Amino acid sequence: MGRKRAWDGKQIHLYIAILTLLSLAACTLNQTADTSILGIKIRGSKADEAREHFTLGKKYLVQGNYGNALKELEKAIVLAGEKSPADESLFYMGLIYAYPANPAKDFGKSIFYCRKLIKDYPKSPLVEQAKAIIGILQENDKLNRMVERLNTIIEESKKVDIGIEQKKRTKAK
């Protein structure tokens, strides 16, 4: 009278069937991204890898790590090619370069990336926002140049006032 086995041979067949299905699924996935499922390496699509880099780039942006955010977004653009999230990545790169808290902000680069988005992805839902960013940055640049000119005029006016005061003093003597 033996005890009943707690583990019969049917379970090993189930495990082999699951591993076979996983292997077949891994073969059907294409492109280059490495992903790990239950410790088994499989290949994912470039679109998936691009989306991962895009998500990581946004995460870095929220953390204030602008340099790494730009690197991840650039990787997403390269992997995505002419598909999403390339348009979104360009938009966020434009935002990063325009962001006031970014110590390496560069409005020229911001405008460049927004224009590239508009030119390369004219049907993107982000085109209108990119146009708004370009308009705001151009208006900001125009106002900054006007402020510089006004400051120059003020300085020249002060010099004239000082000259007038000196002439009044010399006449008063």
pLDDT for res 45: 84
* 69 in Cβ contact with 57 (< 8 Å): yes
Report whether pLDDT(170) > 70: yes
- pTM confidence score: 0.65
39 & 55 share domain = no
- Least confident segment among 12-26, 55-69, 86-100: 12-26
Q: How many domains are there within the chain?
A: 2
Residue 6 lies in a domain: no
By residue range, what is the domain housing residue 31?
Answer: 13-43
Residue 168 — very low, low, confident or very high, per pLDDT cuts 50/70/90? confident
Q: Are residues 99 and 29 in the same domain?
A: no
Beta carbons of 45 and 30 less than 8 angstroms apart? yes
Query: Is there a contact between 46 and 80 (Cβ–Cβ < 8 Å)?
Result: yes
Residues 27 and 70 in one domain: no
- Give domain status of residue 7, yes or no: no
pLDDT tier for residue 4 given thresholds of 50, 70 and 90: low
Residue type, 75: K
| Structure-block tokens of residue 148 | 């510089």
Buried-state track 92-126, b at ≥16 Cβ within 10 A, e below 16: bbbbbbbbeebeeeebebbbbbbebbbeebeebeb
Do 141 and 62 belong together in one domain? yes
